[in-house]
Structure 1
């Protein structure tokens, strides 16, 4: 079966051209993006958090699946990267862009939990994991990608990935599934409150 997505966000071609011109190489893979669209669409009035805007390709996939009532907060450390996303997607009132350190944002955030958290950067995945998981609403989804070896991984990063996966799978408050697909994914759903 061919698992190549057939539908793409309208903003994607412009984002990709600008991403290539900027030399940014860590954009959301198409199959991961198609999953983001489906997960966002499953939450018609959902509150969604993206940690690691990059240049906005994952953001575009999320927005493509979101209803008019859904809301997205996306956080990025590098202002030049997020500037591309802001310029291409900033007219969409459903998205709020936050430029700053994701770890600091996670530590300071005191609002409502999120129905979907996509952690596509170190904060919320390799650092501040517990805080990111605390922000997942009961029945909500936590998704991480890039778990298969990637170009540019630092020395010893594979061991960090295995530690992360083990830690997530040991949690009693989340049910996890590893997906040997796209760039290597893990999806976890928070147990409903009894």
Structure 2
């Protein structure tokens, strides 16, 4: 409503690079960018880690990377990786001129070799939806580093097949090397924050 009246508070205005990345996603009919709510959480989390090394697995058109950059300190660095060549090129264009970021075209597992990281935003389905990769993600985190996983449905909205248990959530919550919490960023989306403790 405030936007319609041109009264959006500055803190709620989209950072210019986020707006650019969202426009590119629309142009490419790419509908898997992180939500605005998750983006604002990413910006906040990046701001809590001055001088940090961050990585994003699955750049898309650069929406998540742009949110992270909007919260990063001057001494921080972000590595973002996208498997699709066209989207990787778009991401590089969106982030052009920003010295704190490296945007690569390649496999998400190759990005982990550049670790360890203080924050990993896993925004690529194979990296966050297959529990056999959890050890690789944890190994790429510093102690105290945070793994951020978005697009989880609230328990009440889970499909019938998961009513008996959600193996993705359970793999995180039961891992002895992680301390996890689940944050409701909207009525339809939860984000899991998992911190490496060992």
Normalising by the smaller structure, the TM-score range is: 0.7 to 0.9
For each residue in 1:29-68, what CA deviation from the matched residue of structure 2 results, as whole angstroms up to 9, or x when unmatched? Answer: 1110011011111111000010010000101000000111
**2:183 counterpart residue number:** 179
Is the 8 Å Cα contact of residues 54 and 120 (structure 2) preserved in structure 1?
yes
Residue 83 of structure 2 corresponds to residue 62 of structure 1: no
Residue 119 of structure 2 corresponds to residue 113 of structure 1: no
Q: CA RMSD for the aligned pairs? A: 2.3
Secondary structure in 2 aligned to 1:93? coil
Task: Give the distance between the partners of 2:28 and 2:53, measured in 1 at CA.
Answer: 30
Task: Give the distance between the partners of 1:9 and 1:122, measured in 2 at CA.
Answer: 26
Task: Give the distance between the partners of 1:144 and 1:131, measured in 2 at CA.
Answer: 15
Structure 1 pair 125/101, CA: closer, same or farther in 2 (3 Å)? same
Is the 8 Å Cα contact of residues 57 and 111 (structure 2) preserved in structure 1?
no
Task: Give the distance between the partners of 2:85 and 2:58, measured in 1 at CA.
Answer: 11
**2:167 counterpart residue number:** 163
Aligned equivalent of 2:150, options 142, 145, 148: 145
The 5 Å alignment of 1:93-132 reads 93-106=99-112, 109=113, 111-127=114-130, 128-132=133-137
**Which structure 2 residue ranges, 5 or more long, are not aligned?**
1-8
The 5 Å alignment of 1:1-20 reads 6-20=12-26
For each residue in 1:57-86, what CA deviation from the matched residue of structure 2 results, as whole angstroms up to 9, or x when unmatched? Answer: 101000000111000011111111122111
Q: TM-score, normalised by structure 1?
A: 0.84
Task: Give the distance between the partners of 2:110 and 2:95, measured in 1 at CA.
Answer: 24
When structure 1 is superposed on structure 2, of 182-191 and 60-69 the one drifting more is 182-191
Secondary structure in 2 aligned to 1:146? strand
Q: TM-score, normalised by structure 2?
A: 0.82
Q: CA deviation at 1:104?
A: 4.5
**2:3 counterpart residue number:** none
**1:152 counterpart residue number:** none
Structure 1 pair 104/88, CA: closer, same or farther in 2 (3 Å)? closer
**2:36 counterpart residue number:** 30
